[in-house]
Amino acid sequence: MSASTQTDVQVRDARDADEEPEEEEAKDPEALIRTNLRPTLQLDYDIVLSQTYQVPVLYFTLRWHNYSGPVGLDTVYQHVVPQQYRQQLQSVGVMGGISLGYHPESGAPAFFVHPCNTADAMTHVTDERLITGETYLLVWLGLVGQSVNLHVPREIALGNGASPS
């Protein structure tokens, strides 16, 4: 299962801090005039069943468009993790709740949300009731996805793709 989303972020290169590009371009009649190309951060999400923990794991990759800055863990916490989840995620275990590793299917570097507490959290949330696989994934995605800005569309959460009344 894969999903992709793009997030607009404003990033200003430190090299531009001392000069005003609009003034420089106004002085040079041969300068190329650029439209305001705001950097865009593209997120690609992927869900893979962990063979070790026997629970789904949310993997995600990030790519900048119109900006050549690095994409590291700091970028994830600054632009992907909502403010209300940052401290909680950063304090999980020794290294936090998000790490960089290799995607188990593609082998490409990818960030992932640690699965070690997933089974206990799901048991607590579902109150130990037996639920369908589809319901499990929706509940799990609601818990894990929101911490990295991946939300279940309302139509799906309500079931059968029906629109809310």
Cβ within 8 Å of residue 49, ≥6 positions away: 55, 56, 57
| Tokens encoding 55 | 């629970």
What is the model's pLDDT at position 6?
54
Q: Which helix (H) or strand (E) holds 120?
A: helix 118-125
What is the model's pLDDT at position 24?
56
49-62 burial string, b = 16+ CB within 10 Å, else e? eeeeeebbbbbbbb
Predicted confidence pLDDT, tens digits, the chain (165 residues): 655 555 544 443 333 444 455 555 567 777 776 665 777 888 999 999 999 999 999 999 998 887 776 688 998 999 999 999 999 898 887 778 999 999 999 999 999 999 988 888 898 888 878 899 998 999 999 889 999 999 888 888 777 444 444
What is the model's pLDDT at position 105?
95
Q: Are 71 and 134 in contact (CB under 8 A)?
A: no
What is the model's pLDDT at position 95?
74
What is the model's pLDDT at position 72?
87
What is the model's pLDDT at position 39?
76
Q: Are 73 and 109 in contact (CB under 8 A)?
A: no
What is the model's pLDDT at position 3?
58
54's torsion region: left (phi>0), alpha (psi -120 to 50) or beta? left
What is the model's pLDDT at position 153?
85
Beta strands 56-65 and 40-49, pairing class: antiparallel
Task: Measure the CA–CA gap between 60 and 113, rounded to whole angstroms.
Answer: 9
User: Which sequence positions are flagged as catalytic?
Assistant: 116
